[in-house]
Amino acid sequence: MKVAVVGATGLVGTKMLQVLQERQFPVSHLLPVASERSVGKTVKFNGKRYKIISMADAVAQKPDVAIFSAGGSVSKEWAPKFAEVGTTVIDNSSAWRMEPDKKLVVPEVNANVLTPADKIIANPNCSTIQMVVALKPLHDRYRIRRVVVSTYQSVTGTGVKAVNQLMNERKGKAGDKAYPYPIDLNLLPHIDVFLDNGYTKEEMKMVHETKKIMGDDTIQVTATTVRVPVIGGHSESINLEFEQEFDLAEVRALLAAAPGVVLVDDPANLKYPMPLDAHDRDEVFVGRLRRDESQPRSLNLWVVSDNLRKGAATNAVQIAEYLLEKGILKQRQSKAKKAVVSL
């Protein structure tokens, strides 16, 4: 496949290249794309170095698939141009997620909604992805009525500037700040901008995206999202209220068998999911399962995942893998001259 990675020099773009290589996605031609100031620089992939090209050059080469991680405004401008030349776009920004005619996909949950007509496919928000992977088998069995979620989100979700701020603060060094307050030895209950209803945009993303991905507008969701001084993954404390009574042993069995889930639930031996264990892993780790003793038909659980991998890069690559497996994504025969030469 001729594959473009848009935003190839960023945290998520770099991780996309890593995941494509690790999962052995059939990349015959790599087109790394970044901002104009990065054009001509190189990135490493599969032991070779590839020159970064401009967006226009990438469109001209008509890739089979373009995986975007370059921000909403860039995606709004360029994703349709790729789609017009027949490229399937998988976009990691929030630009297309809630558009009624665009699919919002987590492969373990709703890949079946994809069709050959879907040329721009949205990758959900990182915190939503890991949550719905854990919720899917439980919703199928018991029907979820309400979700109360509090997140503990890694600074890597903000980007390199935030990681640098944390490490500089830890070393007592001055530097640029991604946050309005210190993040080391602190928590910020503030991710993205505040809205008129008092929630942040990140919190409302979880509300709306969960309903769309699960295909059920009756699920009620309320969220509090918090930035924590962690590198390696997002954690979530989730409380679920079901329509039906549940059996805790069956819940464990359902989660243990669910695709993409690793059950780590052995408090007697101090076994529970942590960001350190999820770092650089593709799975969603679930533990601390217990009945909510204050409310009938309600369950508490703890969910952890690497936000740069399953929360972004891996989920996008899995979408491409599904399209390829189902014959929706097919390599187009092209005699276009290969403009990117490995060095």
Which residues are annotated as catalytic? 126, 234
SS3 sequence, 244-305? CCCCHHHHHHHHHHCCCEEECCEHHHCECCCHHHHCCCCCEEEEEEEECCCCCCEEEEEEEE
Spatial strand order in the sheet of 88-91: 29-33, 2-6, 65-68, 88-91, 120-122, 103-104
Separation between Cα atoms, residue 293 and residue 16, nearest integer Å: 42
Residue 195: in which H helix or E strand, if any? none
Separation between Cα atoms, residue 287 and residue 315, nearest integer Å: 21
Per DSSP bridges, beta strands 29-33 and 48-51 are unpaired
Separation between Cα atoms, residue 241 and residue 144, nearest integer Å: 6
The radius of gyration computed from the CA coordinates of the chain, to the nearest angstrom, equals 20
12: tokens are 């998520």
